[in-house]
Amino acid sequence: MELIGLGRRYGTRLALDDVSLTLATGQTIAIFGPNGAGKSTLLRVLATLLRPHAGTARVLGRTLPDGGWAVRGRVGLLSHEPLLYRDLSPRENLRFQARLHGVGAGRVEELLDAVELGLRADDPLHTFSRGMVQRTAVARAVLHDPELLLLDEPLAHLDPAAAALVEPLIGAASGRTRVVTSHDPAGGLAGADVALGLVGGRTALLAPASDIDVASIGALYR
């Protein structure tokens, strides 16, 4: 992934302003910053859901937005919204996504077991707790074995046991290239190769994660 002077605005408000970075295959970048800093906007640009207004974004060898058609099936997005149909069950949601991606039913069952939803797999999603919905959303995000994972506060709503369940799927051990937003300085840095701090849409910090301490991340929120 390579960003050069990336910008995105909403009307006259700049949500991203001159953001530049590179991320090698298999690496993880952790993005920190206060609410409204531009973290989620950056993920949505990388997911081809928003068009940049300035600069260049290259993802998986393609330049966005023109190359977005070739990237979408290779990216997994876990956002604040679960991107699931609440009147359908986890099994129905995942089977629908599987058909879109040409994935077999066996993969659906494998993931339902991995996130321990097998016993509730046929219950409508609107009867679930927020944590159970998040586990279903994790399964959806990795269903098609994406090369790049875009994770917006992926452990939100998960208790420690549930976080441990999804770790093999979306954590550093998954071996995927990852872009992860977090409000947890220690946890975010622990699994990252690169740290990016955004404030007001601009880069306030960019360095190898091993060179950054928790206090430096905390300063972004003051």
The answer to whether residues 185 and 2 touch, using CB atoms and an 8 Å cutoff, is no
The answer to whether residues 28 and 172 touch, using CB atoms and an 8 Å cutoff, is yes
Q: Which tokens hold the place of 186?
A: 């220690």
Nearest to 151 by CA among 28, 52, 50, 61: 28
Q: CA-CA distance, 86 to 179, in Å (whole number)?
A: 26
What would the pLDDT profile of 116-171 be if each residue is shown by its tens digit? 999 999 999 999 999 999 999 999 999 999 999 999 999 999 999 999 999 999 99
What pLDDT shows up at residue 173?
86
**Cα dihedral 37, 41, 46, 47 sign:** positive
What pLDDT shows up at residue 142?
98
- Average pLDDT over the chain reads 96
Confidence of residue 18 (pLDDT cuts 50, 70, 90): very high
What would the pLDDT profile of 40-94 be if each residue is shown by its tens digit? 999 999 999 999 999 999 999 999 999 999 999 999 999 999 999 999 999 999 9
Percent of the chain scored above 90 by pLDDT? 97
Q: CA-CA distance, 50 to 10, in Å (whole number)?
A: 11
Domains of the chain in start order, with CATH, are 2-59+67-221 (3.40.50.300)
pTM score of the predicted model: 0.96
Q: CA-CA distance, 142 to 160, in Å (whole number)?
A: 20
- C-alpha distances in Å from residue 222, one per residue of 199, 216, 217: 10, 11, 10
